[in-house]
Amino acid sequence: MSARLVEIIVPDAGVAQAKALIAEHCSRFWQEPVPDGLEKFSCVVPSRSIERLLAALDENFSGSAGFSVLVLQVEAVLPEIPELQEIALPASGHRKPPTKLEAFFTRDRISTNELYDDIEPSLELRPNYLLTVILSALIAALGMRSGQTAVVIGAMIIAPLLGPTMAMAMAATVGDRLLGRRAMITLVTGILAALIFTFLLGLFIEIDPLVPELRNRTIVHPADIALALACGAAGVLAFSQGASLSLVGVMIAVALVPPIAAAGLFFGSGNVNLGISALFLLATNLVCINVSGIATFLVQGLPPRSWRLTSGIFVIWLLILVLFIGLVGGRIALGADGAIHGPSNGLESSSLG
């Protein structure tokens, strides 16, 4: 069973209230006095109960002097803690108990606080972030120019775009404007930096637009939309289970970095129309990732602060996706589903990868 060690410090006056809250969410805890009129509780809590326990503690003790909570990963517990089949309601009774479906989908997800802690470092605009984005785009551009798929895949491993991309979907889900603004700034800055340097690269090297690795970044097919949606959902599932951002980021980077690099090369070589087509692929993939990301976060029980705000943002992303699907369908119906015409020598590959 997945569990966390939660250490809670409350003032002595709140001991009885804290003990009652803790007993509702876990079956094993210890209590000990600490200096300055405070009491410490150490609790082994099932992961699926963390969200409600932290929310209840924050609601009741956020203004109390000395109150603090520390959540730690637990590798093993002996003897085994029995799963709580039901979570009792707080005394106020305004929280609904989790449904069986909610408990099923949230049982392996880390808490919202842990998600914030994991994603926070990836939103800082540091030189290392910009350099890594630029280098990954340059490597991807050179790999696509020479038709070396392995080089393109290697570029995806170092691309640090998962953090801001997941943060955008998470911000829309919980309704956190500040998080969304920071994620947008970090992501757009990285994209612009990659575009500028691949544009400069395109000024000095010759490219063949008929190379399949480049050609496929100018085409959007329905299968590519489905693949981008799957990448977004898979990224959220892995991220919400505490997987390493650098490992999970490959599936997101593969949808974003190659189109960016291709657009920069096309603009630098004077192929403006092809560059615009590559940017359309980038925009389509980004919209798909956000749509599937928000939906997956909601299915996993990530609690929105305002359902009205979350629903409005999700509908906007969904409408944009429907518009893009309409544009793709129109191009296919008109027989203009390929921005470049020429032999591909049987080397066609998905425009995402």
Collapsing DSSP to helix, strand or coil, 28 comes out as strand
The predicted structure's pLDDT at residue 219: 87
**pLDDT, tens digit (0-9, with 9 covering 90-100), for 5-26:** 899 999 999 999 999 888 888 8
Q: Which is nearest to 46 in space by CA: 9, 88, 74?
A: 74
Per-residue confidence band for 345, with pLDDT thresholds at 50, 70 and 90:
very low
Least confident interval from 43-47, 167-171, 181-185, 203-207: 43-47
Per-residue confidence band for 64, with pLDDT thresholds at 50, 70 and 90:
confident
The model's pTM: 0.76
**Spelled out in words, what is the top-level CATH class assigned to the domain 3-74+87-108?**
alpha beta
Average pLDDT on 179-200 reads 95
Average pLDDT on 212-237 reads 88
Average pLDDT on 164-188 reads 93
**pLDDT, tens digit (0-9, with 9 covering 90-100), for 293-313:** 999 998 888 888 888 999 999
**pLDDT, tens digit (0-9, with 9 covering 90-100), for 72-86:** 888 777 777 665 444
Average pLDDT on 180-197 reads 95
The predicted structure's pLDDT at residue 172: 93
184: tokens are 């947008």
Residue 106 burial (CB count, 10 A): 23
**pLDDT, tens digit (0-9, with 9 covering 90-100), for 130-144:** 999 999 999 999 999
Q: Which is nearest to 99 in space by CA: 107, 108, 90, 91?
A: 107
The string over 33-55, giving b where at least 16 C-beta atoms fall within 10 Å of a residue's C-beta and e elsewhere, is eeeeebbebbbbbbbbbbbbbbb
Beta-bridge partner residues of 24: none
Q: Of residues 280 and 221, which shows the higher confidence score?
A: 280
- What's the whole-number average pLDDT of the chain? 82
The predicted structure's pLDDT at residue 292: 94
The predicted structure's pLDDT at residue 159: 77
Name the residue with tokens 């997956």. 296
The predicted structure's pLDDT at residue 339: 46
Average pLDDT on 108-124 reads 81
Task: Give just the sign of the alpha carbon dihedral 295, 250, 164, 285.
Answer: negative
Collapsing DSSP to helix, strand or coil, 45 comes out as strand
Give yes or no for residue 249 having a pLDDT over 80: no
Per-residue confidence band for 107, with pLDDT thresholds at 50, 70 and 90:
low
Q: Phi first, then psi: what are they for 3, rounded to 5°?
A: -145, 165
All structural domains of the chain with their residue ranges: 3-74+87-108, 119-333
The predicted structure's pLDDT at residue 349: 41
Average pLDDT on 330-340 reads 65
144: tokens are 């696509």
Average pLDDT on 269-288 reads 93
Collapsing DSSP to helix, strand or coil, 38 comes out as strand
**Pairwise CA distance, residues 300 & 173, whole Å:** 11
The predicted structure's pLDDT at residue 243: 66
Asked if residue 336 lies in contact with residue 296, where contact means CB atoms within 8 angstroms, the answer is no
Average pLDDT on 206-210 reads 89
